[in-house]
Every structure is written in C-alpha cells, then in structure tokens.
Amino acid sequence: NAGVTQTPKFQVLKTGQSMTLQCAQDMNHEYMSWYRQDPGMGLRLIHYSVGAGITDQGEVPNGYNVSRSTTEDFPLRLLSAAPSQTSVYFCASSDGDGFSNQPQHFGDGTRLSIL
Amino acid sequence: GNSVTQMEGPVTLSEEAFLTINCTYTATGYPSLFWYVQYPGEGLQLLLKATKADDKGSNKGFEATYRKETTSFHLEKGSVQVSDSAVYFCALSDQGGGSYIPTFGRGTSLIVHP
C-alpha cells in the first residue's frame, strides 16, 4: 500500500538546470496536485490535474510545467531552475469525495536546493 | 479572496495538557474546512474535516467545530501526548466561490514535553 510516492527525496541543482520531480499514486485517484512549502508559509498550489490529460494552473505556476498522461503519474518539471525555487515540494492526491482537489494523501516531499 | 489565519507558534505544552490551536478564515462562498498534521520529515496528513456550519470533525482525540458566526475552526484535544508533537495546518476549500485552489494557513508548531 504505497500511497503517493515522490522521487527523488533530495536534489541540488545549479541555476539554469532543468529537472523533473516524479510523483506516482496507486489509489486510482483522479485528482493530483503539486504544492511547494516554504518556511513560515502554508502550502501553495503550483499545478493540479482533475484526470488524465487535464491539467490547470494553481497559485504559483510560473517556472513549472506538468503533464498527466496516466492516472497514476503526475510529474513536475522545472524548466530553468532559479534560487527562488528552493523549497520542499509535495505531491498530493484525492479521490474527490465532494471536495474536488482538496488533498487527502501527500507524498513525503522532495527537498530541492538551487545554487 | 480566501484566507486562513492560524495562531503563531510554537505552542509548548506538558503531556496531558489541554490543546487549543486557533484558526479563523475568510471565504467568498461556503467553504469546507480541514485540519492537517505534518510530522517531521513527512508530508501532510488529513486529520479531520467539516463541510457545513456546526459540523464537528473528529479524529484521534482531536476535534474542531465549524463556527460560521465567528468564521472559526479551532482545533482541540483534551489530553496531548508527546507523539502529538508536529505542525498543524488549517485549510479551506471553497468550490462555491469558483476556485479550485485550496487555501492553507501558515501552520502552528506544537511541542509536547514529557
């Protein structure tokens, strides 16, 4: 019973590099989302998806891309890393349950540092 | 727009003490309200929820009542344990306002001493 799995757990990048944060869930949830968590702040929504082939922007989408080719996977791409993107990133899923994309299950996070 | 305000932490208590973490909100529609808990090094876990006024959400000894008149959703527990030490987040989901973006508070750190 894996739930939501994120990889990698830690990553250090140089400014300008690109990378993909992986997220997979095995609960057949339609709703998936990406958040970033910064010190002293709540979670902020980057992008979300209400099903395979459908994605939309959240609160802070600039500098990030997503795709949803399958129900299980929802990768987050950093196009050209900037120090302001240093953060902890969480992937989350939900079965809807009347609350749309209010997250129910979170991964353990990816701690990303941009030098 | 929507917002969630939580009391500043850290909240430091002795084991078996009574816990209250305050949460107030503003919303354009009729939100559902949530509490999450985050243990060190982990993602958030949904702790409890309430979908309409006067609903009480409860789980693992924690409870919170949706108070529309005071726009509040305070988290309470009668007797805390060391294992309750974590960061607690209040959140709302306001689909009635046309937004599919959940709103989270900044989190309140709870430290429980033996």
Model confidence at A101, pLDDT cuts 50, 70, 90, reads low
Gap between the Cα atoms of A7 and A10, Å rounded: 8
Model confidence at A42, pLDDT cuts 50, 70, 90, reads confident
Lowest mean pLDDT among A38-47, B39-48, B88-97: B88-97
Contact (CB<8Å) B51/A106: no
Gap between the Cα atoms of A79 and A37, Å rounded: 19
Q: Which of B53 and A2 is assigned the larger pLDDT?
A: B53
What would the pLDDT profile of A6-36 be if each residue is shown by its tens digit?
Answer: 999 999 999 999 999 999 999 999 999 999 9
Which of A21, A38, A102 is the mutation pick for testing B, counting most B CBs within 10 A?
A102
pLDDT value of residue B110: 97
Residue percentage of chain A with pLDDT more than 70 = 94
Q: Which of B42, B45, B102 sits opposite A102 (nearest CB)?
A: B102
Number of residues assigned to chain A: 115
Model confidence at B114, pLDDT cuts 50, 70, 90, reads very high
Is residue A45 classed as helix, strand or coil in its secondary structure? strand
What would the pLDDT profile of B59-79 be if each residue is shown by its tens digit?
Answer: 999 999 999 999 999 999 999
Gap between the Cα atoms of B54 and B72, Å rounded: 11
CA A96, A99, A102 angle in degrees (round to 5)? 85
Q: Which residues partner with A34 through β-bridges?
A: A47, A91
Q: Is A103 on the interface with B (CB under 8 A)?
A: yes
pLDDT value of residue B99: 58
Of B33, B75, B76, the closest CA to residue B51 belongs to: B33
Residue percentage of chain B with pLDDT more than 70 = 95
Residue percentage of chain B with pLDDT more than 90 = 75
Question: Is the model's pLDDT at B111 over the cut of 80?
Answer: yes
Question: Is the model's pLDDT at B98 over the cut of 60?
Answer: no
What would the pLDDT profile of A51-92 be if each residue is shown by its tens digit?
Answer: 899 999 998 999 999 999 999 999 999 999 999 999 999 999
Of A29, A17, A20, A1, the closest CA to residue A75 belongs to: A20
Contacts of B74 (CB under 8 A, 6+ apart): B20, B21, B22, B23, B64, B65, B67
Contact (CB<8Å) A102/B42: no
Q: Which residues partner with A5 through β-bridges?
A: A24
Tokens 């993107």 — which residue? A85
Tokens 């968590």 — which residue? A37
Model confidence at B93, pLDDT cuts 50, 70, 90, reads confident
pLDDT value of residue A39: 85
Output b/e per residue, A64-91; b: 16+ Cβ within 10 A: bebbbeebbebbbebeebeeebbbbbbb
Number of residues assigned to chain B: 114
Question: Is the model's pLDDT at A99 over the cut of 60?
Answer: no
Query: What mean pLDDT is predicted for residues A40-57?
Result: 90
Model confidence at A98, pLDDT cuts 50, 70, 90, reads low
DSSP for B12-56?
Answer: EEETT--EEE-EEEE-SS--EEEEEEE-TTS-EEEEEEE-STT-E
Q: Which of A4, A56, A102 sits opposite B34 (nearest CB)?
A: A102
Q: Which residues partner with B67 through β-bridges?
A: B72
Q: Which of A1 and A11 is assigned the larger pLDDT?
A: A11
